[in-house]
Amino acid sequence: MDSFIPALTAFPRGHWKRIRTTNGLERINKELKRRSRVVGAFPNDRSLLRLAVAILMDINEEWMTGRKYLSMDEE
């Protein structure tokens, strides 16, 4: 854990909280679970993978066009 601290300080101070927490990953997992529950049983593995990729693409597009999780313009 000690080796992580110098790496963390290389980023702007405003990014530290988002880098050291797993909130972004937890949000993605929660969204995958919520949307896969609606479907219930998947007919095959490919259909589950297709849904997961579609969800991840939606999240990525939201981060790229809307609110940014980390903006490199910040200091």
* Res 19 pLDDT > 70: yes
* Interval 10-25 mean pLDDT: 76
Mean pLDDT, rounded, of the chain:
79
Q: How many CA atoms lie within 13 A of 67 on its CB side?
A: 3
pTM to 2 decimals?
0.59
Percent of the chain with pLDDT over 90: 20
Where do the structural domains in the chain lie, given as residue ranges? 4-65
Our CA angle for 10, 13, 17, nearest 5°, is 100
* Interval 25-45 mean pLDDT: 89
